[in-house]
Amino acid sequence: MKLVILACLAAVAVAAPQFVDLPPVVILRDDRQDSGDGNFQYAFEADNGIAVEASGTPGSAGQSNMQGVFRFPLPDGTIAEVRYIANEDGFQPESSLLPTAHPLPAHAIEQIRFAEEQRALGITYDQFGFRSNRK
């Protein structure tokens, strides 16, 4: 039993995070403006290649409408960039880094077309999958 406890303690010691001394990051730019009425703007840049810019205005439903961009270095040395808008329609990022949906296969497009055709004719189905027509 003592051997099991000793082995567990050794495993915990080996699995403990190893802290690496990273060099400090120097902030090159930190500009902030807030008018107090919901309008704001900020820009931030660090010497490690990270940069953020954003501006915002009050939205019609009480939210903050924002638009901005953030950049960061990739391991290969190139700079990644993500532009975004955030408003009542949600967060909408744009970047070549983001995955895109695969195109639908032909049979799926045909099924969608067929379902739209049936819907236009008023054909519906109940919860058991049986056809029921609207009156």
Convert 98-120 into a string of H (helix), E (strand) and C (coil): CCCCCCCCHHHHHHHHHHHHHHH
Could you read off the pLDDT of 51-73 as tens digits, one per residue?
Answer: 999 999 998 888 889 999 999 99
pLDDT computed for residue 39 by the predictor? 92
Task: Report the 10 Å Cβ neighbour count for 56.
Answer: 19
How would residue 42 be classed by pLDDT, with cut points 50, 70 and 90?
A: very high
Q: DSSP code of 17?
A: P
At 109-127, the pLDDT tens digits run: 999 999 999 989 888 888 8
Could you tell me which of 71, 69, 111 has the C-alpha nearest to residue 93?
Answer: 69
pLDDT at position 14 is: 73
pLDDT tops 70 at residue 3: yes
Mean pLDDT of 8-26: 77
3-state SS class at 14: helix
User: Structure pTM?
Assistant: 0.59
